[in-house]
Structure 1
Amino acid sequence: MRIKWFSLVRVTGLALVLLYHFFQTKFTGGFIGVDVFFAFSGFLITALMVDEFGRSGDFKLLAFYRRRFYRIVPPLFLAVLLVIPLTFLVGHDFVTNIGRQIAAALGFTTNYFEIATGGSYENKFIPHLFVHTWSLAVEMHFYILWGLVAFSGAKLIKRLTKKAERALPRFRAFLGILAFLLASGSFAAMYVGAAGLTDFSRVYFSSVTHSFPFFVGSLLGVLSGIKYPLPLFKSIMAHGNKYVASAMMYLSFVGLVSLGYWLKFDQLLTYRGGLLVATLLAGLMIYSARILHDKTPNTAELRWITFLADVSYSVYLFHWPLYVIFSHLMKNWQAALLTTVLSILLSALSYYILEPVIAGKPAHVFSHTLNWHQLQAPIIVVGLALVGVTGYVVKDAPQLSSLEQNLWISGIYQDVDKVAATHDMALAATTKPQAAAVKGQPAPAQRPAPTDLPKGVSIIGDSVTLGTRRYLGEHVADSAIDAEGDRTMDLAYKVMMEQQKNNLLRQYVVICIGTNALDDYAEQTMKLVNDLAPGHKLILMTPYNAQAGADWNSTRLGDLERTLPNKYKFITIADWGKIAAQHPEVFEGTDGVHFGGIEAGDILYAKVVNQALAAAKHTPAK
């Protein structure tokens, strides 16, 4: 029995996820689309469990697992095999550790693999191609647990219940109580676990903390059912109104879209209520669709809506790796369009042809009927070829990306330099006071006068600077470099103030920060400008990201920095954001941000810094 208007729920969840991935800086909370899917899955699975028990007085666990296997696994294998050959279009870094990614995806452990490796949608320049399968892992864990719960409950109730008419209410009560307890426990775990976190991936990915939408949906499935609704639910449906149900569906949809704009992945509020509100709105939408189904017996769903609902799972599987690849080959809107079209075509192939044929059922394509006997040879040949390509890519894949290797090596050299600098500081601290005492002079003050500032250049940067640190240090005269990955403006401020406090901050201060710009970029930048001590000259290097749009924080930071020299004469702009955009060749095969290891990029970066330093010689100090 197909419930009309449930298609709208599934399409809503898919649209939220796609908008989030394609336009992440505008639709910052679209990740709640996953929670819509979770709640719907929990509802549908549990309602079908109730119906099966009401019809047969039993629940067959192996049949349940077999149905889940044929629905989930074949499209997942197909997505992996078809995506891997496309990785030849992009740099080798995109398949770093791809074997472990594939194993985690096919083993339904991606969520814990991402937790263990520090993976996050939010902070990777080259994200894992199959990071999105974390949701499949959580879903599969739910199916395994909830299937065992239903099976155990069915057996226990059959054994203890003598009157058949009492069995179904008791089975319902058993599932309902457990669903409420598990939903409450999971949300409580997320609420408590989110405390004190700056990266929320741990509570977002975990099956323990992020399974409550399934159980909220399960509770609704227990209460409503499909063929065996509760008397109370029958009464509500009998007195329901299609206009009221339609209004509730619309309002819940508007609420979900609004959350898509308001919520953010890195906000505590998201995990202490935001995801729960999204789940409850999804539940309201499901409930409304269930009523609307009964109230519109003569109204058919639009065919394209049911089509999108049918292929939504496979589109989810295909879209992310395709988008990661295409977004590094073309403009974002082009990548989004191509990803959407290709994902739908591949998903239709999977859902309407390959999945039924693999399950031993005939596939109906327009007026033709296809079966395994007809498609056996091409499926086996193409499948073996794709397996061979995948095996080759896995075997040839690097364990560390070139970016990771470059940053790791640069970090080692920086640590060595810091040890040497600390040694020199300690030596100076013991000799200078003695020399002053011999001459009968007091020890120098903690902060030198503007004319006594250390000569040279202090460069404070992020991972882009760290990647070119060795070359930069050799080609920017008398420079000291402190760079670190994922460094934001507030962290750069702390480094600057620490050097300033210890009289290590040199006359020229170059701040190469911005790729990781947060929402408070303007406040943090002005704090750095205002708290820089007198006597210094400040050079701000604008950030560059080939993927960044006009609404990205990094782009806005660059725009802000370009306005500052008009007000603050001691500030000079090193316009990396402008110059780098004119030289796409230095980012060929990279993530569009880092160029470490490409000599032309090192040369250009150092040139921009040196040109800004030359210009700063003709400006006044603060």
Structure 2
Amino acid sequence: MSAHSYSEVAPLPAPTQGRRHLAGLDGLRALAVLAVIAYHYAPAGMPGGFIGVDVFFVISGFLITGLLVGSIGRREPMGRFWLRRARRLLPALVIVVLVCSTAALFVGGDVLAGIGSQIGGAFTFSSNWVYIALDQSYFTADAPQLFRNLWSLAVEEQFYLLWPLLAVLLLTRMPRRGRAILPIVLAFVSVLLMVVLYPQGGDPSRVYYGTDTHFFGLALGAALALMLDGSARWDPYGTESGGERFTRRWAPAIGVLALALLAVYAVFVPDTSPFNYDGGLLLVSLLAAALVWSVTRSGSVLGRVLDMRPLRAIGVRSYGLYLWHWPVFVLVTAAFAVRTDASPWTVSLIALAISAVATWLSYRFIETPVRTKGFGVLSRPFSGAWRGRPALLAATGAASVLLVVGVVGTSAAAIEGTKGTAAQQQIEAGQRAIEQARRSPPPAPTAPPSGRTGSTPAPLPSKPAPASSPSAAPATVTPPTPRDGSQISAIGDSVMLASAPALVQAFPGIDIDAVVSRSPRDAPGILAQKAKAGTLRSTVIIGLGTNGYLGTGTLDRDLAAVGPDRRIVFVNIYADRPWLGEVDDDLAAFVTAHPNTTALADWHDAIASHVNLLGPDHIHPGGEGGVLYASCVASALDRLR
């Protein structure tokens, strides 16, 4: 063995080693998980709260590397490290997946979409790659995956499958001062991959989900732990050197500044901003590392503030809260979907309350006992009662088997019940229609009897059903008279995608570019790219807004991107989203201000009285709903002539 042997490895203090509690980290965990919950439950208030995951990555990389330093220093088998990780992660994960899968079976509907692959990804820690392989977006607001949030757990565990092996080499073969170089290099390689692979103007889910493109926070946390390994800064009674003087003087200000900048980022930088994927998330990780460095130093005032009891109580349970909050929110949202009068705030508060209770029960009765005493502890409460009581033993065993079989069985039934969910069927039908239209030459359009090239809006029932009555008799919608679509480009989200079969029939030759989760802020970049490539046609239909606010200047940039020789039809939205009113009002005002080059397809008013033409999610149109969507577009095109 080289001169840099195990004997030179100084264990890094960490809470589980009993050396010293690192102040502030539980509070940071609490702030991170609260930011993520706010992002998921109320995205309008904290559109950048998703960066809480990147803060988690830095903290996790920092702490786990500290544990590795101690474990390797004590010459513990690496299997013991992985066993501790299993005891920490698996109990809560198994409970969440089985309970929420069972609940999904009873809720039914679109929450069952793809649940089989999600469960498989959860238990193999490969969720992120499963979602990439299935081309499922992290940012969609339309048909969210029940266990979408498990992608980050997968990234962590994949990183920690290989990182311990590299850590052994670093800690036994390299000088102390050079050990942090490798994780820093790996971090910047990951950032570079994110920048290079990010599709400008497209859905960033691939680079967001990818382990290769998004492990830099974990690597930077690991680098920080290695840089601080053995430093006298951990010892409040150590001799102060130049480095310790710098820490004492500047660490408080750096920590406060880093925390403030992270808060500003969470409030003002949405997930759709290209800045995130061109270096913004690296900035977040660097700020998080600076914050960890500041709060964990001896005597840190900021660390003590973050260690306040409420924050610390949330922080120590943050793992369970992160696991529970998203699937519970999806389930509660689906359960309330039939209640059009249910406020989004009501849904969020109910989901938060259920998540908090489930987290507390899991932490108290499952996670803590297993983490501290091993998996066998789950059977110990019954051991004393079983002695000398075979009947009680048999009854308890039978009840336990029935419970396990019941939960697992209903989870399996949930997997089987994934077939035929409405939103998924509608979107897949739209994708097939677009692909078939691209392969086949468009049929010759039939001239309308009146000789006009346009069409009138589709007739609706004389007595429309109220919006709160989805069970009302379905409307019979007359399809618009087909017209030549060879000069029409359409750009939209999953609502347009679900309407694609009707659009293809109404406008043979139309070019439809619609994807799930597309943000309205993506439109200017997409339009500019198509115009530059010469594929943007003379009439443009834009159906965006379901997945977020338009953003300042987006419509002006749309108009500039299409140029003065093209016209635009904007389709407004109908969805239970907090931004619905603002988006529709902005579109109406913009069209009024530009009457010669734009027109409005009023999808909102057309479908509001006929929600029976929508799927169970009250967002995606079914067959006749798509025909009504096409009729709205046709009517708007008439006004442009």
| TM-score bracket relative to the smaller structure | 0.7 to 0.9
Residue by residue over 1:504-536, the C-alpha shift from the partner in whole angstroms, topping out at 9 and shown as x without a partner, is x7xxx9765554676454125545998467xx9
**Bigger CA drift: 228-237 or 17-26?**
228-237
Residue by residue over 1:192-236, the C-alpha shift from the partner in whole angstroms, topping out at 9 and shown as x without a partner, is 444757333232222222222112111221233489767899637
Q: Secondary structure at the match of 1:28?
A: coil
Q: Distance in 2 between matches of 1:389 and 1:200?
A: 34
Letter in 2 for 1:41: S
Residue by residue over 1:367-413, the C-alpha shift from the partner in whole angstroms, topping out at 9 and shown as x without a partner, is xx983648975665433321111011112322882123321443356
1:402 to 425, 428, 431: 425
Q: Secondary structure at the match of 2:223?
A: helix
**Bigger CA drift: 116-125 or 460-469?**
460-469
2:31 to 12, 26, 41: 12
- In 1, are the aligned partners of 2:434 and 2:501 still within 8 Å (CA)? no
* Displacement of 1:543: 2.3
Q: Which residue of 1 aligns with 2:192?
A: 188
- In 2, are the aligned partners of 1:141 and 1:207 still within 8 Å (CA)? yes
Q: Distance in 2 between matches of 1:570 and 1:194?
A: 33
Q: Distance in 2 between matches of 1:33 and 1:251?
A: 17
Q: Which residue of 1 aligns with 2:352?
A: 340
* Displacement of 1:80: 0.6
Q: Secondary structure at the match of 1:209?
A: helix
Q: Which residue of 1 aligns with 2:22?
A: 3
Q: Which residue of 1 aligns with 2:381?
A: 371
1:235 to 237, 240, 257: 240
Q: Which residue of 1 aligns with 2:462?
A: none
Q: Distance in 1 between matches of 2:140 and 2:213?
A: 21
Q: Which residue of 2 aligns with 1:68?
A: 85
**Bigger CA drift: 225-234 or 519-528?**
225-234
Structure 2 residue ranges without an equivalent (≥5) = 1-17, 337-341, 386-395, 456-482
Equivalent runs, 1:128-527 vs 2, <5 Å: 128-153=145-170, 156=172, 172-173=176-177, 175-194=179-198, 198-225=202-229, 235=240, 246-293=252-299, 301-328=307-334, 329=336, 330-358=342-370, 361=373, 371=381, 373=383, 381-398=402-419, 401-411=424-434, 414-415=437-438, 418-421=441-444, 461=490, 462=492, 463-465=494-496, 467-468=498-499, 483-486=512-515, 514-515=545-546, 519=551, 521-524=554-557, 526-527=559-560
* Displacement of 1:473: 7.7
* Displacement of 1:256: 0.7
Q: Distance in 2 between matches of 1:570 and 1:240?
A: 61
Q: Distance in 2 between matches of 1:179 and 1:173?
A: 13
* Displacement of 1:185: 3.0
Residue by residue over 1:567-605, the C-alpha shift from the partner in whole angstroms, topping out at 9 and shown as x without a partner, is 627866442223434444443513x321224x4x35754
* Displacement of 1:67: 0.7
- In 2, are the aligned partners of 1:16 and 1:30 still within 8 Å (CA)? yes
Change (3 A) 1:609 1:288: closer
- In 2, are the aligned partners of 1:12 and 1:253 still within 8 Å (CA)? no
Change (3 A) 1:235 1:123: same
Residue by residue over 1:31-77, the C-alpha shift from the partner in whole angstroms, topping out at 9 and shown as x without a partner, is 221111111111112223333455x3x24311111111111111111
Letter in 1 for 2:82: Y
* Displacement of 1:18: 1.6
Q: Which one has the largest radius of gyration?
A: 1
Q: Distance in 2 between matches of 1:374 and 1:331?
A: 49
Residue by residue over 1:248-282, the C-alpha shift from the partner in whole angstroms, topping out at 9 and shown as x without a partner, is 43322211111113434344432332112211211
- In 1, are the aligned partners of 2:613 and 2:622 still within 8 Å (CA)? no
Q: Distance in 2 between matches of 1:402 and 1:271?
A: 31
* Displacement of 1:189: 3.2
Q: Which residue of 2 aligns with 1:436?
A: none
Change (3 A) 1:455 1:47: closer
Q: Secondary structure at the match of 1:235?
A: coil
Q: Distance in 2 between matches of 1:48 and 1:583?
A: 59
- In 2, are the aligned partners of 1:361 and 1:371 still within 8 Å (CA)? no
Change (3 A) 1:544 1:151: same
- In 2, are the aligned partners of 1:194 and 1:203 still within 8 Å (CA)? yes
Q: Distance in 2 between matches of 1:32 and 1:234?
A: 37
Q: Distance in 1 between matches of 2:189 and 2:542?
A: 46
* Displacement of 1:139: 0.7
Alignment of 1:593 with 2:619, yes or no, is yes
- In 2, are the aligned partners of 1:91 and 1:589 still within 8 Å (CA)? no
* Displacement of 1:293: 4.9
Q: Distance in 2 between matches of 1:60 and 1:545?
A: 55
**Bigger CA drift: 307-316 or 337-346?**
337-346
- In 1, are the aligned partners of 2:570 and 2:599 still within 8 Å (CA)? yes
Change (3 A) 1:228 1:98: farther
- In 2, are the aligned partners of 1:112 and 1:206 still within 8 Å (CA)? yes
Letter in 1 for 2:96: A
Letter in 1 for 2:257: L
Q: Distance in 1 between matches of 2:626 and 2:290?
A: 55
Q: Which residue of 2 aligns with 1:449?
A: none
Q: Distance in 2 between matches of 1:589 and 1:205?
A: 28
- In 2, are the aligned partners of 1:410 and 1:466 still within 8 Å (CA)? no
Q: Which residue of 2 aligns with 1:561?
A: 588
- In 2, are the aligned partners of 1:198 and 1:266 still within 8 Å (CA)? no
Q: Which residue of 1 aligns with 2:122?
A: 105
Change (3 A) 1:224 1:540: closer
Q: Secondary structure at the match of 1:344?
A: helix
Equivalent runs, 1:543-622 vs 2, <5 Å: 543-550=573-580, 555-556=582-583, 558-562=585-589, 564-565=591-592, 568=595, 573-590=600-617, 592-597=618-623, 599=624, 601-602=625-626, 605=629, 612=635
* Displacement of 1:187: 2.9
Q: Distance in 2 between matches of 1:52 and 1:92?
A: 48
- In 2, are the aligned partners of 1:458 and 1:479 still within 8 Å (CA)? yes
* Displacement of 1:480: 7.6
Q: Secondary structure at the match of 2:57?
A: helix
- In 2, are the aligned partners of 1:5 and 1:292 still within 8 Å (CA)? no
- In 1, are the aligned partners of 2:256 and 2:302 still within 8 Å (CA)? no
Structure 1 residue ranges without an equivalent (≥5) = 158-169, 364-368, 425-451
Q: Which residue of 2 aligns with 1:433?
A: none
- In 2, are the aligned partners of 1:546 and 1:581 still within 8 Å (CA)? no
Q: Which residue of 2 aligns with 1:448?
A: none
- In 2, are the aligned partners of 1:51 and 1:226 still within 8 Å (CA)? no
- In 1, are the aligned partners of 2:187 and 2:215 still within 8 Å (CA)? yes
- In 1, are the aligned partners of 2:158 and 2:211 still within 8 Å (CA)? yes
Alignment of 1:48 with 2:52, yes or no, is no
* Displacement of 1:245: 5.1
* Displacement of 1:360: 7.3
Alignment of 1:85 with 2:102, yes or no, is yes
Q: Secondary structure at the match of 1:291?
A: coil
Residue by residue over 1:593-622, the C-alpha shift from the partner in whole angstroms, topping out at 9 and shown as x without a partner, is 21224x4x3575467567x57xx98x7x76
Q: May I ask how many residue pairs the two structures share in their alignment?
A: 551
* Displacement of 1:359: 5.2
Letter in 2 for 1:334: T
Residue by residue over 1:284-331, the C-alpha shift from the partner in whole angstroms, topping out at 9 and shown as x without a partner, is 221222125577999994332221011101111111222223334343
Letter in 2 for 1:310: V
Letter in 2 for 1:467: A
Query: What TM-score do you get using the length of structure 1 for normalisation?
Result: 0.75
Q: Distance in 2 between matches of 1:290 and 1:300?
A: 11
Change (3 A) 1:7 1:48: same
Letter in 1 for 2:332: F
